[in-house]
Amino acid sequence: MNLAAGSNQPAITYLNHETTVRSWLLTRDHKRIGVMFLVGVIFALLLGGIFAMALRIELLTPGPTVMAPMTYNRMFTLHGVTMVWLFMIPAIPSAFGNFVLPIMLGAKDVAFPRLNLASFYIYLAGSLLTVFGMLWSGADTGWTFYTPYSTVSPTTVTPILMGVFIIGFSTIITGLNFITTVHTLRAPGMHWTRIPLFVWTIYGTSVIQVVATPVLGMVLLLVAAERVLGMGIFDPSRGGDPVLFQHMFWFYSHPAVYIMVLPAMGVITEVVCAYSRKNIFGYKMVAASTFGIAFVGFFTWGHHMFVSGQSTFGSGVFGVLSMLVAIFTAIKIFNWVATLYGGSIDLKVPLLYVLGFIFLLMFGGMTGVAVATTSLDVHWHDTYFVVAHFHYIMVGAVLMAFLAALHYWWPKMFGRLYPERWSFLAAMTIIFGFIVTFLPQFLLGNMGMPRRYYEYPREMQWLHVLSTAGASLLAFGFGLIAIYLLWSLRYGAEAPVNAWGSRGYEWYSGSPPVPHNFTEAPRFEREVHDYTVAEVPRVY
């Protein structure tokens, strides 16, 4: 592999062709919007992380440790709201999807560049309203806003509901934009069977976003209407049904898990191929399983309600359908691992995150099967087992893939290399820290520790201490990453055009890319991640 020298890089890039603040704020360049989303979601991660650390410190001792119960209840609500809606949902699609998806398709930009910019400002507005709500009063309902508690809670829930409602529009717009882009802006040679798997997952995700997010919007509006206007939709004393909220909420929020996880799976596929220098083992199965997950994901919401009094038969149906998601996930896991076979594997940091991802997804998925098994869920429902399960599968997946993507595409985005050893140390710290944080929580759940508990029986303490220790490691790892990435922006070695010798299509353009991605129209003559042909990286 001839790694091109730095001299091969374009002189004028999307970063330096215009440098005023105005040129950034009013940009219609999908790459700049992607970078702005990246900054936004990293702030959200920081905020959610601070809440998480506060929670873990509070739980160090069985009784009160550093905060009052009300503060604690607000903290876990805000941790959930921030992490789910401000970080995990937009993290990969809006930041990395925006950046690489058009390049991968050989397009100059997304289909609706102005709408793309609007989507960022809508995200910003919704986030600011949510943060304002947090600072003003801070809901104590949990991120699920279950009625009737959310309609009678003494805290001010409405601004946060409205903030999330607004963010929903950003999600829908981004989804529409990506779907249109994939359909209309593919360059010559980009057949449907050549579309990179990352694009496939973003496409699948966009479908979920467009279909499911309106339901979330509706249910949040209804809760707000009940709080402000006293409508009797969920309030039984006024003829409402409190469980109706759960149906509507999970009709969005279960597919939302796949809004978070599918793009992560796309990143993992790209990274596995690049670092094992191999084509994906089963392209069609991996692409198809994406849509399997997206489709079946809509029919599993009832598995959140096995103990809510819904019909036994209904629980059975939702249980079986939930297991199908695990099947589609299993296909992906097997294909990733099979891809390693016969490769030329370089265990660089992104691939390390992939291993972390597969580990977490594996156990997150198997425990998911366990909680879809109706009789077992009765014991585990709403306990720390579930907390650990969804942190493994959803947070673990998003975080690992987010960090893998950040490292894999860092040279692409900023034209700089990060320090290899520091990043390796940070990756090990984060993977180990994550496991130490959440493994004890599975055991706590087995013991019967319900989630959202401010106080707990003394015999559970040492597992909590272990969990907090893991969280501290995680925080340390994130600090390390923040330091060396910021350092590399200025002092990092200049990256070659194709820093990893990848055959992903996004490396056809420069690193960083020129303003409209390509100086001449690209042509796609080979399959994505085809390593059987020798090829020099090219900059169109």
Partner 1 sequence: MEELFRKSLFLPEQASSIAKDVDHLHYAIITAALVMAALIFGFAAYCLIRFRRRSETDVTPRVQGTLGWELLFVGVPLTTFLVWFYIGYHDFIRMQTPPPEAMDVYVVAKQWMWKFTYPEGPNAIGVLRVPVGKPVRLLLTSRDVIHSFYVPAFRIKQDAIPGAYTQTWFEVTKPGSYRVMCAEYCGLKHSEMWAEVVALSEADWDAWMKEQRKGLVALKDASPSGPEREESGIPARRAARYDAQEPHGELMYAERGTLPERGERLAAERGCLKCHSVDGTAHIGPTWLDLYGRRERLTTGETVVADEAYLTESMMKPQDRLVEGFEPVMPSYQGQLGAAEVAALLEYIKTLRSARLENTRSEGPVYEPGGGK
Distance CA 323, CA 316 (A): 11
| Nearer to partner 1 among residue 186 and residue 227 (C-beta) | 227
Shortest spacing between CB 333 and partner 1, in angstroms: 7
| Nearer to partner 1 among residue 494 and residue 530 (C-beta) | 530
Shortest spacing between CB 297 and partner 1, in angstroms: 16
Q: Going by C-beta distance under 8 Å and a sequence separation of 6 or more, which residues neighbour residue 155?
A: 74, 137, 138, 139, 140, 141
Residue 26 burial by Cβ neighbours in a 10 Å radius (0-12, 13-18, 19+): exposed
Shortest spacing between CB 455 and partner 1, in angstroms: 5
Buried b (16+ CB within 10 A) or exposed e, 395-422: bbbbbbbbbbbbbbbbbbbbbbbbbeeb
| Nearer to partner 1 among residue 13 and residue 289 (C-beta) | 289
| Nearer to partner 1 among residue 189 and residue 314 (C-beta) | 314
| Nearer to partner 1 among residue 30 and residue 277 (C-beta) | 277
Find where tokens 């796949």 sit: 258
Shortest spacing between CB 203 and partner 1, in angstroms: 21
Shortest spacing between CB 128 and partner 1, in angstroms: 24
Asked if residue 242 has a cis previous peptide bond (ω within 30° of 0), the answer is no
| Nearer to partner 1 among residue 99 and residue 318 (C-beta) | 318
The pair of three-digit structure tokens given for residue 187, joined into one six-digit string: 């360059």
Shortest spacing between CB 491 and partner 1, in angstroms: 25
CB neighbours (10 Å) of residue 521? 10
Instruction: Check residue 529 and report its DSSP letter.
Output: T
Q: Please, where are the H alpha helices in 93-157?
A: 98-105, 113-136, 149-152
| Nearer to partner 1 among residue 180 and residue 461 (C-beta) | 461
Distance CA 201, CA 261 (A): 9
Shortest spacing between CB 392 and partner 1, in angstroms: 11
| Nearer to partner 1 among residue 105 and residue 393 (C-beta) | 393
First to last CA, the chain: 19
Distance CA 67, CA 52 (A): 13
AA letter at 15: L
| Nearer to partner 1 among residue 252 and residue 384 (C-beta) | 384
Kind plus residue range of the DSSP H or E element containing 316: helix 312-340
Distance CA 355, CA 360 (A): 9
| Nearer to partner 1 among residue 363 and residue 484 (C-beta) | 363
Kind plus residue range of the DSSP H or E element containing 326: helix 312-340
Query: Angle at the Cα of 121 (from 117 to 125), degrees rounded to 5?
Result: 170
Select from 483, 477, 488, 485 the least CA-distant residue to 49.
477
| Nearer to partner 1 among residue 102 and residue 440 (C-beta) | 440
Kind plus residue range of the DSSP H or E element containing 241: none
| Nearer to partner 1 among residue 370 and residue 428 (C-beta) | 370
Kind plus residue range of the DSSP H or E element containing 480: helix 461-491
Distance CA 434, CA 360 (A): 9
Shortest spacing between CB 105 and partner 1, in angstroms: 23
| Nearer to partner 1 among residue 135 and residue 228 (C-beta) | 228
Query: Angle at the Cα of 461 (from 458 to 467), degrees rounded to 5?
Result: 160
Shortest spacing between CB 393 and partner 1, in angstroms: 13
Distance CA 355, CA 431 (A): 9
**Would you say 510 and 497 are in contact if contact means Cβ atoms under 8 Å apart?**
yes
Distance CA 522, CA 540 (A): 6
Shortest spacing between CB 306 and partner 1, in angstroms: 8
Q: What is the CA radius of gyration of the chain?
A: 23
Shortest spacing between CB 321 and partner 1, in angstroms: 10
Find where tokens 């709408």 sit: 115
The pair of three-digit structure tokens given for residue 42, joined into one six-digit string: 């990293």
Shortest spacing between CB 39 and partner 1, in angstroms: 33
Shortest spacing between CB 192 and partner 1, in angstroms: 18
